[in-house]
Structure 1
Amino acid sequence: MAYAPWLDPYDAPPFIAFSTSHMISMTIIVLLVLLLFLFRHSLRRLSERSSRLLRIGLASVMIGSEIVLQLWYVYGGIWSLQTSLPLELCSLTLLLSALLLLTRTRWLYSAVLFAGIAGALMAIVTPNLGYAYAHFRFIQFFTAHAMIILALLYMTWVEQFRPGWRSVAGSMIFVNIAALVVYAVDVLLGANYMFLRHKPNTPSVLDMLGPYPVYILGEEVLALVLFTLLYIVLFAIPDRVSQHHNRKKTKTHQIQSKL
């Protein structure tokens, strides 16, 4: 078999935060989000069959990204119970977001919406990643995390699922239940999924939240703040602007009717 440096798990240039490739990757993700928002009305007009095929396609990319990651672990001889199971928060939200695309289940949407977007955003800005572009792991990492955000925003902007404040609570409950289950697995396997037993070896936002186990409490506060901000920015403010626009439009129509 020919040597493929872009698949080598050992001999690869290290990832550098906010390098050119990192900045380009973040820019591409922002542009994809903007395109999804701009074409949301066109996507809503798709037939039911076309919409279903699109959701299946998106879900397939998401599930496929996890499958090829597992195959890469095996190919590189680095698969292990301690590090390779899909038990990180973003791995869980990736698979659950794919399931959401396939089932359009509203309680699942409420559970993963803010946890998925916030977790993926944090991972994209401060990646726990050891491989630079154009290594397979670099491409897989940013593809998977971008797909989490795009899938959840697709369900919001195209499928028109709407969260309430309860969705913030739902995401907090989901994160804590997941953390309890994953911590039990960590103890059983001697692993550190979701960084529940110690911080990652690469720089991350956890470095600002204090030592173990204080940073876990800090994560709880940070999650609540991020989930709340996401709700305000993505839903509360747009809803208020839309209501104001509709009232203004109705008032204008009433005045024109009197004339």
Structure 2
Amino acid sequence: MVDADIAERFVPYSPAHLLSLALILAAVLLLLAFRRPLSRRRPAAGRYALAGLLAACEVLLNVWYFSSGVFRPSSTLPFELCSISLYLSVLMLLLRSRLLFQIVYFTAIGGALQALATPVLGYAFPHFRFIEFFAAHGLLLLAALYMVWVEGFRPTLRSVFVAWGALNAIAAVVFLVNRLTGANYMFLARKPPSSSLLDVLGPYPWYILSLEAVALLLFLLLYLPFARSERRAKAVAAARSVPSS
């Protein structure tokens, strides 16, 4: 939803967009650099801080929706993939849930990267919506990576298909919400008006099937850095299970 009287609208890969991406990358690199000190010194504090920041983004966004009079069931309910991933991320961080990590690692990173690369956003910097958009998506990346780099969680090949199945279950619910509200959450009803990956995936509804394949491929790519360590761990476990003669 975009206010009709906004003087300046978001321009992809403008200086403000590129600076926001650079700041998020810097935050990710800082987390990587300080992962060991964080893992030794009360890692729960970092999880709670990230959960609080993610929750604050969502609360402030909804306050703005209502205070600005732009709340619409057809466009501002939390049924986009990144919004759903945000709620799951908060629970994952608070509960230190390995089950939720197996889903969030893929949906949060995959969804946030797509959103940051091709934002569906009508507001330019320094509008609150611009700042909240990039802050929330940057925090989604940090939350998933925190569980990997600081808490030592690892995705598995099985979790690729768990996350893909969860994504399809979420899409089924969102499809029903779209039918009831006339919305286009997760772009399951039509393509977004701005340029996006969907432009090269065919017309509606065939691009949804293409998205299925793209999502699975992306999840496999996100798992790839951990494939060797998982195979090694399985080999060690198998060797230990063999009784000595």
- Settle same-fold status: TM greater than 0.5: yes
Q: Distance in 2 between matches of 1:15 and 1:138?
A: 8
Q: Deviations over 1:145-178 (max 9, x none)?
A: 0111100000111000111101111110111000
Q: Distance in 2 between matches of 1:139 and 1:8?
A: 16
Question: 1:12–1:132: 8 Å Cα contact kept in structure 2?
Answer: no
Deviation at 1:9, TM superposition (A): 7.0
SS at match of 1:203: coil
Q: Which residue of 1 aligns with 2:109?
A: 117
Q: Which residue of 1 aligns with 2:237?
A: none
Q: Distance in 1 between matches of 2:150 and 2:46?
A: 11
Q: Which residue of 2 aligns with 1:39?
A: 34
1:129 to 101, 121, 135: 121
Q: Distance in 1 between matches of 2:168 and 2:7?
A: 35
Q: Is residue 22 of structure 2 the alignment partner of residue 22 of structure 1?
A: no
SS at match of 1:23: helix
Equivalence map 1:169-180=2 (5 Å): 169-180=161-172
Q: Is residue 230 of structure 2 the alignment partner of residue 235 of structure 1?
A: no
Q: Which residue of 2 aligns with 1:191?
A: 183
1:145 to 129, 134, 137: 137
Deviation at 1:111, TM superposition (A): 1.5
Q: Distance in 2 between matches of 1:134 and 1:128?
A: 16
Q: Gapped runs of 5+ residues in structure 1?
A: 1-6, 244-259
- What is the CA RMSD across the aligned residues, in angstroms? 1.8
Question: 2:157–2:227: 8 Å Cα contact kept in structure 1?
Answer: no
Question: 1:12–1:135: 8 Å Cα contact kept in structure 2?
Answer: no
Percent identical among aligned pairs is 48
Q: Is residue 92 of structure 2 the alignment partner of residue 100 of structure 1?
A: yes
1:208 to 200, 204, 211: 200
Q: Distance in 2 between matches of 1:166 and 1:84?
A: 33
Deviation at 1:236, TM superposition (A): 2.9
2:81 to 89, 93, 96: 89
Q: Distance in 1 between matches of 2:150 and 2:210?
A: 34
Deviation at 1:98, TM superposition (A): 1.1
Q: Distance in 2 between matches of 1:46 and 1:10?
A: 49
TM-score for the superposition, normalised by structure 1: 0.85
Label 1:219 to 1:141 Cα distance change in 2 as closer, same or farther (>3 A): same
Aligned length: 231
SS at match of 1:11: coil
Larger Rg, first or second structure (1 or 2)? 1
Q: Distance in 2 between matches of 1:158 and 1:58?
A: 13
Q: Distance in 2 between matches of 1:231 and 1:168?
A: 7
Q: Deviations over 1:126-158 (max 9, x none)?
A: 000011111111100000001111000001110
Label 1:9 to 1:89 Cα distance change in 2 as closer, same or farther (>3 A): farther
Deviation at 1:123, TM superposition (A): 0.2
Q: Gapped runs of 5+ residues in structure 2?
A: 234-245
Label 1:69 to 1:9 Cα distance change in 2 as closer, same or farther (>3 A): farther
- Counterpart amino acid of residue 38 in structure 1: A
Q: Which residue of 2 aligns with 1:57?
A: 49
Deviation at 1:39, TM superposition (A): 0.7
Deviation at 1:52, TM superposition (A): 2.5
TM-score for the superposition, normalised by structure 2: 0.90
